[in-house]
Amino acid sequence: MVCESWNKQLDAYLDSELPDADARALDAHLRTCPSCAADALARVQMKRAITVAGKRFAPSAEFRKRVQQSLAAKPQRLFSLGWALASAAAVALAVATLTFTYVGARSGRDHIFSEIADLHVETLASSSPVDVVSTDRHTVKPWFQGKIPFAFNLPEIQNTEFVLLGGRVTYLHQTPGAHLIYDVRKHHISVFIFPERAFGANLGMESISPKQLPFHLETWGQGGLRYFVISDASPVDIDHLAKLLKAE
């Protein structure tokens, strides 16, 4: 079957492990193959369900307390040796704390970026990618009123190469947000907008390289909102649309 070779690459594609050229080729295939698109959607949903389930088994405060009490109950060694070990442990703990803080923040960012990529893939695989179908920003923007807990502005794109296809309500960490879809030279661009307070990680204002994701992604905070622009379109197109959004 023609799709069998594509199907074998789906897991690597969804985990951002495919080489750039292979990821772009599979992305193009998903746009034209309903069967593979549906399979990709099912795997994304399973991946997100496993992630949610995994968070239920974090160590409890009581368990941590018992471990700490157990360590504290161990007999003391000689003063000199104990002091040396304590000093070394203090240095190691300080280094570990700084490392954990940095790695934890980076891991939090990467996890959010991965979830944004998953939402983008789900849209590509959906037979109904938008709930409000319109190229008119004055139709799309009012449609969100009452459906999400914030308001936003959309840029004027009449004299650009971008086309607004419509929008839908989406969710990230159980927080409702706006998902807008634009088209530029047959590439779909997803624009996600959420309240900034929904993100504990310091996401900053940065572009993500295709080595980390199979897409180009730009994110920034503005007016209490967090914007994500993601697509397999060129970085130039991503940056152009981001600038139009920032100007509003």
User: What percent helix, strand, coil does the chain show, rounded to 5?
Assistant: 50, 20, 30
Q: What residue type is assigned to position 113 of the chain?
A: F
What's the whole-number mean pLDDT along residues 177-183?
95
Can you point out the beta strands (E) in 109-174?
A: 132-133, 163-172
Q: How far apart are CA 24 and CA 144, in angstroms?
A: 32
Give pairs for 144-149: CB < 8 Å, separation 24+.
144/169, 144/178, 147/176, 148/176, 148/177, 148/178, 149/176, 149/195
Q: How far apart are CA 89 and CA 49, in angstroms?
A: 39
Whole-number average pLDDT of the chain: 76
Predicted pLDDT of residue 63: 64
**pLDDT one-digit tens code per residue, 34-66:** 777 777 767 776 766 565 555 455 566 676 667
Q: Is the pLDDT of residue 161 over 50?
A: yes
Q: How far apart are CA 178 and CA 151, in angstroms?
A: 10
Pairing relation of β-strands 132-133 and 225-231? unpaired
Q: Give the Cβ contact number of residue 204 at 10 Å.
A: 10
pTM of the predicted protein model: 0.59
**pLDDT one-digit tens code per residue, 59-103:** 666 766 677 677 666 555 544 545 454 554 444 444 433 333 333
Residues paired with 222 in a beta bridge? 225
What's the whole-number mean pLDDT along residues 16-41?
75
